[in-house]
Amino acid sequence: MKNIIIVFSLMMSMLLSLSAAHAAADIEINTPAISAIKGSMQSRHAQLAPFYSSGAVGFSRDGLVAVRDAAAVPLAQRQALNNLVAAENKDRNALYAEIANGNQHPEWEPEIRATFAKRWADKAQGGWWVQDGSGWVKK
Amino acid sequence: MKHFYWALPAALLLPACVTINIYFPAAAAEKAADRIIDDVWQLQDKKAAPAAPAGETPAVQPAP
């Protein structure tokens, strides 16, 4: 009798963990908050793209953008560039948190951030700079 | 002695509940990231433009 209880509870827990794995197989990104952040980033991209190409700004391994080579930008433009980078990173941080929250898993934020960091780097155009484990690399 | 065995299901079910919290759908997250990046960088539009030095075009484009 005792053995039956043990085997039964073992099977139950296996079933439960299996169904848990299947239940969470999708990521929701169509929330108003995510769309708003995406729109803001999309309109900023045209301003940032020249800095990506010149190497002034690169994609850091934490899923953000960073001023890599301020010397590539005329002194008069540097403050504007810093503001642009700060605004972009604010959006990116909000985006990662919002995806995690929107999927009822705030604790997923670091994994979502890491996934984005990898995909930004993979999809970056030739000539753009990305940060890997050892440092900045030109694609 | 028999009471001890009633604690066992609880002990076994607890890790199962933790599984729900730690499971991260990596493949789905990657697809979601790709969709957002394509939107932000407008990669779909840029495909037509001549300035597309990236050798590989985005592989997965499940346009809704």
Q: pLDDT-derived band of residue A64, with 50, 70 and 90 as boundaries?
A: very high
From the CA atom positions of chain A, what is the Rg in Å?
21
CB contact under 8 A, A45 and B40: yes
Assigned token pair, A43: 């309109």
For residue B52, give how far its alpha carbon lies from the nearest alpha carbon of chain A (Å).
8
- Measuring CA to CA, how many Å separate A12 from each of B3, B8, B34? 19, 12, 37
CA distance linking residue A67 with residue A55, whole number of Å = 9
Query: CB contact, 8 Å: A107 with chain B?
Result: yes
CA distance linking residue A135 with residue B29, whole number of Å = 25
For chain B, the straight-line distance linking the first and the last C-alpha, in angstroms and rounded, comes to 60
Chain B CB contacts of A99 below 8 Å = 32
Segments making up each domain of chain B, as ranges: 18-47
CB contact under 8 A, B37 and A123: yes
- ipTM of this complex prediction, to 2 decimal places: 0.82
Query: Which is more confidently placed, A137 or A20?
Result: A137
Chain B CB contacts of A5 below 8 Å = 5-6, 8-9
CA distance linking residue B31 with residue A8, whole number of Å = 38
CA distance linking residue A2 with residue A40, whole number of Å = 61
Chain A CB contacts of B21 below 8 Å = 105, 107
Cβ neighbours of residue A84 under 8 Å, at least 6 residues apart?
Answer: A44, A47, A48, A51
Q: pLDDT-derived band of residue A19, with 50, 70 and 90 as boundaries?
A: low
Query: CB contact, 8 Å: A36 with chain B?
Result: no
CB contact under 8 A, A119 and B30: yes
Torsion of CA A83, A86, A92, A94, to 10 degrees: -110
Asked if A129 and A137 count as a contact pair (C-beta separation under 8 A), the reply is yes
- Per-residue pLDDT tens for B27-40? 999 999 999 999 99
Average pLDDT value for chain A: 90
Q: CB neighbours (10 Å) of residue B26?
A: 12
CA distance linking residue A18 with residue B22, whole number of Å = 13
CA distance linking residue A114 with residue A116, whole number of Å = 5
Asked if A122 and B57 count as a contact pair (C-beta separation under 8 A), the reply is no
The residue assigned the tokens 């346009």 is B63
Lowest mean pLDDT among A62-71, A108-117, B15-24: B15-24
Among chain B, residues having any CB pair with chain A shorter than 8 Å are 2, 5-6, 8-9, 12-13, 15-17, 19-21, 23-26, 28-37, 39-43, 52-55, 58
The pLDDT assigned to B44 comes to: 75
